[in-house]
């Protein structure tokens, strides 16, 4: 196992200070290691995640070589030739486990934002003090965007949140964590070959969730109540101004509709599993409130906005992979983690084998199936 940094590198170097997992502690499970602390329903801090993964590496005696960056993997006669910052090696098979979130995705028009406005990605952000005083435009209302918008608004900086397509979820539903429902109802176990539109499912943004001791819901209604101003999707920069799409009403009602559909799936599961007595009654939440008027443009030179935080998602980096298996959008072409060339595999990508694949609790089943394939491949060659 080659790792350019230390064990749990992404958690050490690419996360902000206040982040907690949005998955509850009992869902932090890796093959043979589970959370066994006093607070199974709590949410790990970044430090706790690092300690958990370090423990996993120690318990499993994973043969990790840290401080080794892979700079090239290319096909060779008998498998692959790997170049690293610490020398060359050959192998029959490669498992790409380099992560799905190596780089923040930032739209090209970021280059047209006036230099007087500071720009940050979640990789640069550590805490509000990193930003100048004054207004902040947070772009993107998925997990990262809603969490940073709330933290920045609480720091006294007026926040404008640019909202595109998003996944709304309540933190708790019928007395349980909403991710408990995803788990128990089987929604998270839906397999990649059963998903209707796999490309879309793999591009789905993260849910609007935050892990706090109070188990608060952090949806757009909560943010608006805190004073965050909501605007539409940031579409372009023209003459030093940000232009936002209209139609927030449609964006909101689509997210509400999808949330209600999902809650309906949970309710159906309760009925069919005969467990009705275990839970509170079905709940439905207030629709997302549409602001009475929304701004369609914002002058970035007026001084109102002093910084922009791009919470517009992340993408993988395969710049080191010299095998033609990456598509024009920079995504790896693979079928359930089996990439388009013999002996090449991947783990840890969105909906790799099931909906839970990107989460820590998704790796065990995915890894078992992918490694079974890899073992068969090696055995056949022998």
Nearer to ligand FAD, 101 or 182 (CB): 101
Residue with nearest beta carbon to ligand FAD: 99
Q: What's the angle, vertex CA 31, arms to CA 351 and CA 52, rounded to 5?
A: 95
State the minimum distance, in angstroms, from the CB of residue 152 to ligand FAD.
16
Outline where the chain has alpha helix (H): 9-13, 46-59, 143-154, 178-184, 198-203, 220-226, 248-273, 363-381
State the minimum distance, in angstroms, from the CB of residue 129 to ligand FAD.
19
State the minimum distance, in angstroms, from the CB of residue 57 to ligand FAD.
11
Nearer to ligand FAD, 135 or 211 (CB): 211
Nearer to ligand FAD, 135 or 207 (CB): 207
Integer Cα distance of 251 and 262 in angstroms: 17
Nearer to ligand FAD, 15 or 168 (CB): 15
Integer Cα distance of 322 and 330 in angstroms: 13
Which residue, 348, 28, 50, is CA-closest to 183? Answer: 28
Nearer to ligand FAD, 16 or 244 (CB): 16
Outline where 110-142 has alpha helix (H): none
Q: What is the DSSP code string of 33-70?
A: EE--SS-TTS--BHHHHHHHHHHHHHHTT---EET--E
State the minimum distance, in angstroms, from the CB of residue 266 to ligand FAD.
20
Binding site for ligand FAD (CB under 6 A): 2-5, 9-10, 15, 21-23, 69-70, 97-99, 101-102, 144, 314, 320, 348, 358-360
Nearer to ligand FAD, 4 or 258 (CB): 4
Integer Cα distance of 208 and 258 in angstroms: 13
* CB 330 within 8 Å of CB 315: yes
């Amino acid at each position: 196992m080659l790792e350019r940094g230390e064990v749990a590198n992404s958690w050490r170097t690419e996360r902000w200070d206040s982040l907690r997992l949005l998955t509850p502690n009992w869902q932090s499970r890796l093959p043979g290691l589970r959370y066994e602390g006093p607070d199974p329903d709590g949410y790990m801090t970044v430090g706790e995640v690092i300690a958990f993964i370090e423990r996993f590496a120690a318990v499993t005696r994973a043969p990790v070589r840290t401080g080794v960056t892979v700079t090239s993997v290319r096909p060779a006669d008998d498998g692959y030739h790997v170049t690293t910052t610490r020398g060359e090696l050959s192998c029959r098979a490669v498992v790409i486990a380099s992560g799905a979130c190596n780089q923040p995705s930032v739209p090209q028009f970021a280059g047209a934002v006036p230099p007087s406005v500071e720009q940050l990605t979640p990789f640069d952000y550590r805490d509000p003090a990193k930003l100048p005083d004054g207004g902040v435009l947070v772009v993107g209302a998925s997990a990262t965007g809603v969490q940073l918008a709330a933290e920045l608004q609480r720091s006294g900086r007026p926040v404008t949140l640019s909202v595109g397509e998003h996944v709304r979820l309540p933190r708790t539903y019928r007395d349980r964590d909403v991710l408990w429902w995803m788990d128990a109802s089987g929604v998270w176990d839906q397999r990649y070959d059963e998903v209707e539109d796999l490309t879309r499912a793999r591009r789905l943004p993260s849910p609007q969730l935050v892990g706090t001791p109070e188990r608060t819901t952090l949806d757009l209604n909560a943010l608006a109540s805190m004073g965050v101003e909501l605007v539409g999707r940031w579409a372009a920069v023209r003459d030093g101004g940000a232009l936002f799409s209209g139609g927030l009403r449609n964006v909101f009602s689509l997210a509400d509709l999808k949330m209600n559909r999902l809650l309906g799936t949970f309710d159906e599961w309760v009925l069919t599993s005969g467990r009705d007595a275990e839970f509170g009654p079905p709940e439905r939440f207030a629709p997302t409130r549409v602001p009475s008027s929304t701004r369609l443009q914002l002058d970035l030179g007026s001084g109102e906005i002093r910084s922009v935080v791009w919470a517009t998602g992340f993408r993988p980096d395969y710049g080191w992979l010299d095998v033609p298996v990456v598509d024009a959008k920079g995504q790896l072409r693979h079928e359930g983690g089996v990439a388009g060339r013999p002996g090449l595999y991947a783990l840890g990508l969105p909906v790799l084998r099931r909906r839970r694949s990107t989460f820590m609790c998704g790796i065990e089943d995915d890894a078992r199936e992918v490694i079974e394939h890899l073992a068969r491949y090696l055995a056949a060659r022998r």
